[in-house]
Amino acid sequence: MAEHDDALALAARRLITTFQAEDAKGELLGATHLEGIAVRDGLVQVTLGVDRARAGSLEQARRAAEAAIARLPGVRNATVVLTAHRAPQETAPAPQTGGHAGHGHGAASRPPAPKPQPIPGIAHIIAVGSGKGGVGKSTVSVNLAVALAQAGLRVGLMDADIYGPSLPRMLGASRRPDVRGDRLIPIEAWGLKAMSMGFLVEEDSAMIWRGPMIMGAVQQFLGQVEWGELDVLVVDLPPGTGDIQLTLSQRAKVTGAVIVSTPQDIALIDARRAVKMFEKVEIPIFGVIENMSYFCCPNCGHQTNIFGHGGARAEAATLGQAFLGEIPLLPEVRAMSDAGTPVVTEAPDSEAGRAFAAIAQTLLSRLGAETERA
Ligand SMILES: Nc1ncnc2c1ncn2[C@@H]1O[C@H](COP(=O)(O)OP(=O)(O)OP(=O)(O)O)[C@@H](O)[C@H]1O
């Protein structure tokens, strides 16, 4: 299978370079440069870099390249993505004082890392992360974002989990976003403006993105989505401590991060890693949320601590971080997530609904304090 994929990658590369070479005037694909090709099990993903100013005029050429690759024998699905970059003269100056953590070694010989800038129109960014996968980070991101919108804020939700985007399913929205010029129009759902790689490519093809392509996608989501004026952008990060977290910390000024963990020891060890990672990339941490904290029997109300209740609270105290609250493990949370209906809208008076609303209030006051400080 890998050999077959290698052959497809080669064939796709040849096609793209032929298109580029045939475009003598540099008006179509000749204006792009090949950033990467990833192939897995017949799913082909090509990333072409292009100057921001040109991106809008290349949509037809992009589609033509996509169709040509899709016709190659053995291709199950092809996606060609344009990642627009700033022209060199547009690049913001990057004054760097003190060095950005994680890039300090040998800084004298390297160009300074860009200082994270606020994104125009977006007052605050909250990053939701976890050390371990499957702890309910996306569930928490969606419900906190909707709860903040219910509290009257203008809220955006960005799914930075490029490998496994789950927002389309959780929001019950899978339509393709409109494109206006070189900008993507976010999908509106549950009072939020949302953007996810899952709106743009098939869920399984998102799995094969690689480092540089991922960074391009995150930058594009931050810089080229028509978010409008937002009080807060909630960013659902992938689990772990990789490229995406680093890219976000370098590209945008994040007001604060929230770390989601279950109370199990194994999740807590990873949560500790997540805390260290946010500290290293200089993203302030708002605190820790314990998800799947306890199971409350819907019949008799008896509380069972399936994963051992209270571990995240204790761990937060050990790490000197705030504890933001606990969300019970409830079948309706899972059922509503899977149905694309957030529990805070469908069952606001449920134990989980109230827990999310309370945590959103805590975050609201933290944002208020940050605004006053700024
Ligand atoms: N409090 C909860 N009660 C019941 N089910 C929950 C709860 N929180 C999350 N789940 C369920 O657990 C599963 C994993 O949740 P989710 O996708 O939010 O986790 P994640 O940490 O974002 O995962 P990934 O690592 O894949 O990004 C989903 O089926 C979700 O519905």
Q: Is pLDDT above 70 for 231?
A: yes
Of all protein residues, the one whose alpha carbon is nearest to atom 12 of ligand 1 is 136
**Tokens matching residue 283:** 């993203």
- For residue 338, give the ligand 1 atom closest to its CA: 31
Cα separation, 69 vs 73, whole angstroms:
9
- Look over the chain and give the mean of its residue pLDDT values, rounded to a whole number: 83
More confident residue, 1 or 333: 333
Q: How much is the average pLDDT of 327-355?
A: 92
Going from N- to C-terminal start, the domains of the chain cover: 2-87, 122-373
Q: How far is the CA of 283 from the centre of ligand 1 (A)?
A: 24
DSSP-derived secondary structure letter, 103: S
Residue 156 in marked binding region: no
Q: Is the pLDDT of residue 257 over 90?
A: yes
Q: Which of 160, 154, 167, 313 is nearest to 244 (CA)?
A: 160
Distances (CA, A) of 276 to 109, 255, 271: 26, 17, 9
Element containing residue 128 per DSSP (H, E): strand 122-129
What's the CA gap between 301 and 93, in Å, rounded? 58
Which residue matches tokens 């792009």?
Answer: 32
Predicted pLDDT of residue 107: 40
Ligand 1 centroid, distance to 216 Cα (angstroms) = 27
| Residue 308 assigned as binding residue | no
Q: Which of 293, 314, 315 is nearest to 304 (CA)?
A: 293
Lowest-pLDDT range of 113-127, 257-271, 305-319: 305-319
Please tell me the number of Cα atoms within 13 Å of 207 on its side-chain side: 8
CATH of domain 2-87: 3.30.70.2210
What is 122-373's CATH topology? Rossmann fold (3.40.50)
Q: How far is the CA of 347 from the centre of ligand 1 (A)?
A: 17
Q: Is the pTM of this model over 0.90?
A: no
- Confidence tier at 189 by pLDDT (50, 70, 90): very high
Does 242 have pLDDT greater than 70? yes
Q: For the chain, give the number of residues.
A: 374
> In b/e form, how buried is each residue of 8-31, taking b as 16+ CB within 10 angstroms?
bbebbeebbeebbeeeeeeebbeb
Tens-place pLDDT, residues 130-153: 988 889 999 999 999 999 999 999
Q: How confident is the model at residue 112 (pLDDT cuts 50, 70, 90)?
A: low
Confidence of residue 208 (pLDDT cuts 50, 70, 90): low
Task: Please give the distance, rounded to the nearest whole angstrom, from the Cα atom of residue 291 to the centre of ligand 1.
Answer: 9
* Helices first, then strands: H and E counts in the chain: 13, 14
Q: What is the mean pLDDT of residues 306-323?
A: 81
Q: Could you tell me the pLDDT band of residue 105, with boundaries at 50, 70 and 90?
A: very low
Q: Which residue has the higher pLDDT, 51 or 127?
A: 127
Percent of the chain whose predicted confidence (pLDDT) is above 90: 34
Report residue 18 as tokens. Answer: 């032929």
Ligand 1, atom 26, residue with closest C-alpha: 134
Q: Which of 136, 49, 118, 192 is nearest to 328 (CA)?
A: 136
Of 162-171, 295-304, 337-346, give the lowest mean pLDDT range: 295-304
Task: Name the residue of 138, 235, 244, 291 whose CB sits within 8 Å of the most ligand 1 atoms, as the mutation to test its pocket.
Answer: 138
